[in-house]
Structures are given as C-alpha cells and as structure tokens.
Structure 1
C-alpha cells in the first residue's frame, strides 16, 4: 500500500506539472483560463466517481476501474502533439510550425509564421539564461514570481482543503445529520458543479477578482464553521439550541467547497505556468508542486493533533486566518494575466525587473 501510494503520488505530481504547463502553452489567450480550470473539473469528476462508486463495489473492482482509465489515458497521449514552445526551445522551428498549425486548426502559413516569429524571439531571449534550479533561486529576475507562487501555494493548501476532504465524514458526523458515504457524494457533486461553473466565468472576470472572491468566501465560511464548533465544544451551548444550528456546518463546508473551487483550487497552478519564463518553467513548476505536497502533508497530518489539543474550532479559525491574509496578498501582489499572451505576461514582468534593478543602482550610487 505504501509503495502504491508513493508511485501514485509521483505520477500525480508529474501530471500536475506537465498538464498545466502544456495547456498554457497551446491555448489561445481568450480560453487559457477556462482550459486551465478544466483540470480542476476533471479532478473533481474523478473524486466524485470514487465517492459514488467506491462504497458500493469491492476494493479490487474499484482499483481495476482506475487502472483501466489510466491505461486509456496513457494510450491517448500517444496522439498528443508536443507544444510549439517545446520545439522552439530545442531549436526545431519546422516542427514547431507544424505543431502550431495543427493545434490552432489553421492552414494559413503566413499567419502561423508571424505568430511563431514572436514566440521564437521570446523563447530565444529566455533561453539565453540557464535552466537550472540554481538559476531559478539566485537570479533576481525570478525573485518576485517565486515569492508570489510560494504565497499562493501557502494560501491554496493551508486553508485546509486536503484536511477537510480527508476528515469530511467526521466533520459532518460531529456537526450534521448527514454522514457516511452520502456526505462524500454530496461533497463531490457540489465540488464538480463549482468547478464547471468556474470554467465559464474565469475568462470573463479574470484571475485576480476570482481569487479575491474565493479567498474572502473561504475565510467567511471557515469562520462560520469555527463559530459552530466553538459553541459546541468551548461554550457548550445546550443541545436544544445547538440542534437548531445543525445546518451551519453543512452549509459552511459546502460554501467553502464552492468558493474554494472557483479560485484557490486551481488558479495558483495556472498562474505558475503563466508567470515563469520558458527556461525555468518546468523547474519552477516542479519545485512549486513539491512545496504543495509538503504543505498538504503538514496540514493533513496536524489536523487531528490540533483538534484534540485545542478544539475543533481552532483548526477552522487557523485555516480562516490564512484566507484573511490571502485577501491582502492577492490584492497587492497577484497580477492579472487575463486576455494576455504568454509573451505579453513576460514583457510586463521583465519591465518590472528592469525598473527594480535601476532603482537598486540609483540607491547604491546615492549611498
């Protein structure tokens, strides 16, 4: 079981990095956000399938179903073309043009050549720098983006989604009449619906606004659930009054799921693929995913211990405090990438870096 979980974790980590990088590189700027959110929708569909089927079939039967889906997916990957950016990075302009025209569904070679010329210039500029972890961590050019993505990962995972998902039935059993496998099924349907809804609105409202709404809603939902458990555990409200509030944890957790899914659930993955240049994008995405795994482990592992020592409400208020911090973090630091090509995003970041370097030089010369 441990070996199986370890191998599965490696596979999921690779998929999480490669899928989002690939989608951001092949998608038009007008649909890049929606395609990125589809990754979350597919994750939600998988979770719902396991929640709905798992309790009612044998363990071997469930795993046979999952293995068959993986085999089908791996087979379909044989027909997926490489990203034009990948070909350009390795100096294959003809292959990049062929891939670009196929992905865009066009036969207009003149237009394809014009688009690839702009892409090639940015790729060449990026590839003048190294592609190593040392380059990523020491070059000031990537410093702001590193801090930004690290902050988003903290916000994404330390607001408690993985822990709440792991302890969902216990939470509902303690604070609601809905329990057992039906709690997970309801959770799965709500999460899937929220993810589908997000794909239709992300390219209209943009990343920043959705993440602000998401972080605010998550903070308020977690605070509300925490208040309920405070009244139950610390204040020890009498059972009759508490019974009248039994819907609060259910509504609070479901609201949390909806608001988390429209922003914090997937947009940090999309932004990390959009903000890093081609030379360090894979390395940066891999490091970000490793950070996410560490945060996931820490939050899920510490949930029960904090709950036992300090009370259930403390866990939810701790998650809420991270979300409140996220509101200010997003407002002041997260850029808007909606409606911009990857080249335009990199141009804006480079302009900021140049301005910062000039300010540093002026400061040093003045001192």
Structure 2
C-alpha cells in the first residue's frame, strides 16, 4: 500500500514528494481574511438595506415632502409593511441561494445576490408610489435570504479550522457596518443620494468578488480536483505540494459525505437532525431575544430616559456600539469558543431586557423612582446591544455553517435560514400591537425569558466546535470518537 505521506510531484517529474515536509508550510493566513472580507461587502450592502427605514421613514412620513418621491406621507400601516416586507422576501431567498450554490457554486451564488439587490435599488430610486417601496423591500429581502445562506457556507469552506469561527462571525460584524453607514449617511443627504450609495456598494461587491476563488469543496463535489487544488493554493498562499495533504483530507471527507445524495428526509435523520434543531433553536433565540423590537423602539427608549440627544445622533451612537461590539467577536471566538460567547450573550441580553422591562413597569405605574433612574434605559440598551453582538447576533450563522455535513448543507441551511426570517417578520410586524395589549414591560420580559431559555439550551445541548475540523464536528454530533490523525 502506498505511504500516505508521499505523493508524486504535481509538477510532473515523477519523483515522490514527502507531504509531511509540506504540512508545516507557513502559507499566508491573511488571504482567508481578505477573501472573506470581500465576500462580505455584500453583507454590508444588506445591512445598509435593512437599516434604510431608520433615516428614510422620517423623510417619507413628514408633512413636508420636498425630499420624498411619494405624493403623500406614508400611513402608519404602510410604514409597518415597508418595514416588515424585507423579512418576507428573506423567507424565499434561502431556497434560491441554496439551489444556486449547489448548482453553479458558492462564488456565483454570492454574485447572483447582486441581481435582486440592484432590482431593489432601482425600484426604490424610481419610486412614485408606495408599491415601488414594497417591491424594492421584497427584492432586498430575497438578497438577504440568499446571502445569509451562501455567505456562511462559503466562509466555512474556505477557512482553516483555527479561523473558521472568526470568518463565520464576519456576517454579523459586516451587517452592523451597513447599519452604521446608513445611520450616518441617511439623515444628512437626500433620498436619492441614499439610493446611489446603496447601488455603489453593490457594484463594488460584484466587481471585486468576481476575482475571488470558488470554494475548493465545491470543486471537489464536482470531481474537479485540479480546480480545487488551484483554488486552495490561492486561498492558503501555498504551493501545490503544500496543500496536497489538506486537499486529500477534504476529498476523503467529501467522498464519505457524498456516498448518498441528500434529500429533505435526510435532514430529519440522525446527526443531521441534531444539527438542524440546534441551528433552528439558535436562530429562534436570535430573533426572540427581541433585537428588532429593541432597535425599533430605540427612540422611545431614549425619550423615556429624558435624553436631549437628537434621535439621529442617538441612532448613530447605537450603530457605532453595534459595530464595535461585532468587530470584537471575530477576534476572540476562536480563542474562547462558541459556547462561552453564547452563554455570555444570552445572560447579558436577559439582564438588559429585565432592566428595560422593570423601567417601563415603573414608568407605566407612575413610580417616583423613575426620575432618579433615568440612566437605566440607556444602560440597559447598551448592555443588550453589546452582548447580543458578542454571541446571539453572529454565532448562529457561524455554527450553522459548521454543523451540517457537505451533502446536507444545501438542503438544510435554506430551511433554517427561512425559519429565521419567518420569526423576524413576526417580531417586526406584530411586536407593537402585542406590546400595546399586554404592556411594553411584559413584552420585554417575555423576550428575556427566551434569552434565559437560550442560555440553558446552549449550556446543555450546543456542542463546542472551536478548533474542530468539519469531520470531527460530524463525529461529535453522531456521538462517535474522532480518529486521531496519523503522522
């Protein structure tokens, strides 16, 4: 039997090459960060789209329509639909993204998301009635669903084990950059200028990512080993011999995974179902921690605290807090692990929501203590945002990209992602009437209870994937002991 540590020289001399001597070839780690960063320019774009309503609603609702393309101000109901139709589009986007990623590749799946983004911006820029805005938000939502499915898949497949968590955390970090950008630009430029910046970002992504490599795993799935090798050499910054060992491991993993073509029924079997329910539970806790409701009521919370800050400036401050907090996660996630950050995040958001609920309870009952704790809503909000961005925001996507085996990922990830956006629509559309019925403090406390449940779920059921290879993660889910790597 041939020695696994040797292979024939890929240059073609026929001489055997000792692969062991190449395993320590340094490579260029920065390449993974740059490639993932360029891929996530699209994520900045969808953050910009998602935060668009914050500065634009003011322009569309005011009686002075000099900076509105609409013939009349938006009604309360129209405003609610403009806000909630993006999640509706995002429900369908994952299935489109998953299909495209499996048929034409992860790279082209990401690039194809530029199409609904461009269509959305054209509709918004050319709007003459609210129907254009509805259409634009739905197309943006389709792009959001596509990107939230394909981007974690792509980042997980190009990453080495020691940085996979960091690259998977890019999604939340880059989304918050998009939010911050629209918060900074939107209030101070015209309606049309906001759209032009949005179009420019999509163009920058499409042009720059065109020159990035396809996932080597996708090439191996297509039995194109040479293209996979070239892609891996580019991503790792190593020679052909330097990537041969990793390429062999990838090929063996894919060969074992692709013995059977995955169907929908396979998602609900064995370790696949465990990966599926963990992914769905994490996105449930992500949405039902109430992030969208808290952001929607940010101005109300600042007003309750008696803040004299202009709402636009207050929003920029919170956007900056989000961005800084989200940038911290990629730096520490591969040192501390996913579980500890999720535990810190769920406990921190629960405390923040509990304090917010307590303040609104005292306020609604006219307690004299309210005047002496005016700082509490802002403190609670900052605590909530910080801890959300450390764990609940980025890590469900990162973990989802790691848990599913290759053959199941294209089937299961779209379902889990669509489930996330169904929940997002429900929270965005119906939080206000529910809060009006039961009281704001009850609504915040219910979200807090969900965060406590998320803490317990993470503590007992979420496996630690830090530093684990994709095959090792499958062994953990299946309850198998991983085989030690041969020297």
Q: Distance in 2 between matches of 1:186 and 1:245?
A: 21
1:174-198 deviation line (CA, Å, top 9, x unaligned)? 3441451122111101001101122
Any gaps of 5 or more consecutive residues in structure 2? 1-132, 483-487
| 265-274 or 122-131, which deviates more | 122-131
Question: Contact conserved, 2:168 with 2:401, CA < 8 A, in 1?
Answer: no
How many residue pairs get aligned? The number is 349
1:345 corresponds to 2:473:
yes
Match of 1:152 among 276, 282, 287: 282
Match of 1:195 among 326, 341, 360: 326
Match of 1:174 among 304, 310, 319: 304
1:4 corresponds to 2:136:
yes
Match of 1:273 among 396, 401, 404: 401
1:245 shift after superposition: 0.8
TM-score, normalised on structure 2? 0.70
Corresponding residue for 2:255?
124
Q: Distance in 2 between matches of 1:39 and 1:149?
A: 16
Corresponding residue for 1:218?
349
1:131 shift after superposition: 2.7
1:352 shift after superposition: 4.7
Match of 2:221 among 61, 67, 89: 89
Q: Distance in 2 between matches of 1:272 and 1:88?
A: 21
Calculate the aligned-residue CA RMSD, in Å: 1.6
Question: Contact conserved, 2:258 with 2:407, CA < 8 A, in 1?
Answer: yes
Question: Contact conserved, 1:141 with 1:350, CA < 8 A, in 2?
Answer: yes
Q: Which runs of 4+ in 1 moved over 6 A?
A: none
1:291 corresponds to 2:419:
yes
Structure 1 residues 105 and 353: CA distance shift in structure 2, 3 A? closer
Corresponding residue for 2:243?
112
1:76 shift after superposition: 1.3
Any gaps of 5 or more consecutive residues in structure 1? 355-367
Structure 1 residues 345 and 180: CA distance shift in structure 2, 3 A? same
Q: Distance in 2 between matches of 1:45 and 1:38?
A: 10
SS in 2 for 1:262: helix
Corresponding residue for 1:43?
175
Q: Distance in 2 between matches of 1:113 and 1:350?
A: 28
The structure with the greater share of residues assigned to helix is: 1
Question: Contact conserved, 1:211 with 1:263, CA < 8 A, in 2?
Answer: yes
Greater relative CO, 1 or 2 (CA 8 Å, sep 6+) = 1
1:118 shift after superposition: 1.2
